[in-house]
Structure 1
């Protein structure tokens, strides 16, 4: 049965000459992301270049700068630009490449899924050597075929999850400047650096002989989707292993921090609940009043909870005291309102009786001779005196006149 076709993975990363030091530190496992390194496995193996490749590359770049600088000064001298010569001498040599966000060099990674290297099932391709050896041989041949002497370094990493090859490309080119040929670094001199899809086609075809396949054709999928009026798929973003691991570690740290925060909040709420309960028990036992102060009549006993100064300064104590104060205020307000309602009902009842009696007196008085009305009016004034004793505010609320009138007259 044919084995699963795994894709060959090719990735380019921009590189500046200033990055060479960090690259070398990681190659010797002295710097960079080392958390995933298996110290029990063999260290990286050099495939292309010498052990001194980094110093050689830096020296060559420095020579390019000096050669170009000398050519520039000679050109200015021929044109008798004396002021410009002095200014450029002060500024010094310039980098022999055009500034860009990617840098003038490229780091290249070649690998496949670790399952492919571990695969032992029968497949379409018969192997007489190990997968790593076969992959390594094809990788070195492809690098030399496509980039020639511009591959100034390549190594095999054996101590990580999956075997992979790192390579450094220094794209040398010659351009006409200052009336002469000047050496520069120019990534676009290599078609496979200039065209990502072409690079994927090339490496896919090269490694197909050992059972690997080209990766997904993302650009073609985008073109097809646009031609069909569909939403194009998102372009893949290659994330360096170190960046991916850092992101995962950051996520884990955030989860742990969130869990710790939740646990601390639960613990604080439990402490506050204990303090609130202690406050309530102390109030119920008569140990403290609604303000949290020791009650004047309290007699401390084993049954009366004692609140320490620490508890009295706690958030739970403050919450309980505020809630208790509000509850007492509401209870007192309800009691006062009930008392006022009862008082008003009694006054209304009494006033009604007085008014009923007064109405009878007025009716009787209207039927008596003039001489008797004076005596009736005197009796009425005595009965009305109870109404007159009420304060004006109360009489107003009850709908009574502030000053009476003598209707019997």
Structure 2
């Protein structure tokens, strides 16, 4: 397998003494983000410190607090500052470190890409742990070299995706205070904690002997870009594995939900299309009417349209569409028939009116007695004609208006 240059990964994270109990619970896989843990793999292995390191660390911190508090009270008493002495007795011991958002302890993470651990020149070992042993030896040596006894705990996590090492540093310092030497926790006493770039340079050189390289010098690249007047590279924010996994699980769940929604929509459209086709085939074959009611038994060559099938959404949709079209066609046919009838009636009424005009001309030539009889008959005939004329409907004669006739 061709070897690839992989970077050594080093991370420092602030840690408060109150975080130790949660840290230990996760070490024993009882608390925290456990979704990525593989129970079939070996449990975390202790590398530095005792199994009771957490209790020992907390007890030591408590002892430092009490010793410093006693030294302070002794100094106030020696200086006869009774008021301050009384006040400090009420307040009690203070934390033996300067308050900061990071806390006085440091958690260290050392690892590399999982592909690097899987590269091996030997097939003798079942789980290919050659690289893990090489990495572990270098990591323990680097921690002891640069932090000495302040490394109160280190462990190897082998039950996650990539092998990695966690360590806890308790930076002990001694200061002259209250007339005596007092202990306190001070992370800056370690140059590699104080200077993050120096720490990256250090591990890059230390692990180069086993084929790893220093990670990208982003801070240096940003500084060089600013000094040369160029735009600095975009600043990266380190995302803790638990946070990344939570976001990734949310993204995958959303994609799965969207995929399921699209699958259901496609299946629904397919069902509707199948119902429409079945309806159309059944209507064209004369098996059902436009309301979806059976007309005759289905032919043996086709499956019958069952009641359940007739109640399908697509079937109902097709039936409603067919009924709507049928109603529109029927209405259109009725309108055309009415228009044709009105046209025919109008033509016939026109011919009758012409005949009426002829009768009127003839009546004027007859004696007065005959003209009166013809006028009475003509009025009755005209009323019947106007009742048939659509154009005359709704147009009655005004009160007192008489129909013209032969005099």
Matched, 1:340 2:345: no
| Equivalent residues of 1:373, 1:408 under 8 A apart | no
How much has 1:11 moved relative to structure 2?
Answer: 1.5
Q: Structure 2: where are the runs of 5+ without partners?
A: 122-129
State the alpha-carbon separation in 2 of the partners of residues 217 and 86 from structure 1.
50
Matched, 1:80 2:83: yes
Q: Which range moved further: 379-388 or 14-23? A: 379-388
In the alignment, which residue of structure 2 is the partner of 1:395? Answer: 391
State the alpha-carbon separation in 2 of the partners of residues 186 and 56 from structure 1.
18
State the alpha-carbon separation in 2 of the partners of residues 203 and 14 from structure 1.
19
Q: Which range moved further: 220-229 or 137-146? A: 220-229
Closer, same or farther: CA 34–210 of 1 in aligned 2, 3 Å: same
Q: Which range moved further: 65-74 or 42-51? A: 65-74
In the alignment, which residue of structure 2 is the partner of 1:385? Answer: 383
In the alignment, which residue of structure 1 is the partner of 2:63? Answer: 63
Matched, 1:165 2:165: yes
State the alpha-carbon separation in 2 of the partners of residues 104 and 359 from structure 1.
122
- Over residues 112-144 of structure 1, what are the superposed CA-to-partner deviations in whole Å (9 max), with x where a residue is unaligned? 3344445568xxxxxxxx654544343233323
| Equivalent residues of 1:365, 1:408 under 8 A apart | no
- Note the 1:189-268 alignment, pairs <5 A: 189-226=189-226, 231-268=231-268
Closer, same or farther: CA 354–401 of 1 in aligned 2, 3 Å: farther
State the alpha-carbon separation in 2 of the partners of residues 95 and 319 from structure 1.
78
| Equivalent residues of 2:287, 2:296 under 8 A apart | no
Closer, same or farther: CA 139–339 of 1 in aligned 2, 3 Å: same
State the alpha-carbon separation in 1 of the partners of residues 11 and 65 from structure 2.
29
- Over residues 248-282 of structure 1, what are the superposed CA-to-partner deviations in whole Å (9 max), with x where a residue is unaligned? 44444444444444444445555556666777759
State the alpha-carbon separation in 1 of the partners of residues 132 and 364 from structure 2.
134
- Over residues 21-67 of structure 1, what are the superposed CA-to-partner deviations in whole Å (9 max), with x where a residue is unaligned? 34334434555436454745x55443322222111122223334555
**SS of residue in 2 equivalent to 1:389:** helix
How much has 1:153 moved relative to structure 2?
Answer: 1.2
Closer, same or farther: CA 341–10 of 1 in aligned 2, 3 Å: same
- Note the 1:88-103 alignment, pairs <5 A: 88=91, 98=99, 100=101, 102-103=102-103
**SS of residue in 2 equivalent to 1:33:** coil
Relative to the length of structure 1, the TM-score reads: 0.68
Closer, same or farther: CA 373–237 of 1 in aligned 2, 3 Å: farther
**SS of residue in 2 equivalent to 1:62:** helix
Closer, same or farther: CA 255–34 of 1 in aligned 2, 3 Å: closer
State the alpha-carbon separation in 1 of the partners of residues 25 and 340 from structure 2.
92
In the alignment, which residue of structure 1 is the partner of 2:110? Answer: 110
Closer, same or farther: CA 94–340 of 1 in aligned 2, 3 Å: farther
Closer, same or farther: CA 202–366 of 1 in aligned 2, 3 Å: farther
Closer, same or farther: CA 318–117 of 1 in aligned 2, 3 Å: closer
How much has 1:10 moved relative to structure 2?
Answer: 0.9
State the alpha-carbon separation in 2 of the partners of residues 373 and 65 from structure 1.
143
How much has 1:9 moved relative to structure 2?
Answer: 1.3
Closer, same or farther: CA 162–383 of 1 in aligned 2, 3 Å: same
State the alpha-carbon separation in 1 of the partners of residues 63 and 370 from structure 2.
138
Q: Structure 1: where are the runs of 5+ without partners?
A: 122-129
State the alpha-carbon separation in 2 of the partners of residues 114 and 187 from structure 1.
30
Matched, 1:7 2:7: yes
- Over residues 202-234 of structure 1, what are the superposed CA-to-partner deviations in whole Å (9 max), with x where a residue is unaligned? 322333454432211222333455566655433
In the alignment, which residue of structure 1 is the partner of 2:34? Answer: 33
State the alpha-carbon separation in 2 of the partners of residues 153 and 326 from structure 1.
81
Matched, 1:51 2:51: yes
State the alpha-carbon separation in 2 of the partners of residues 352 and 71 from structure 1.
131
Closer, same or farther: CA 184–388 of 1 in aligned 2, 3 Å: farther
How much has 1:351 moved relative to structure 2?
Answer: 3.7
Q: Which range moved further: 17-26 or 375-384? A: 375-384
Relative to the length of structure 2, the TM-score reads: 0.68
**SS of residue in 2 equivalent to 1:47:** strand
| Equivalent residues of 2:104, 2:185 under 8 A apart | yes
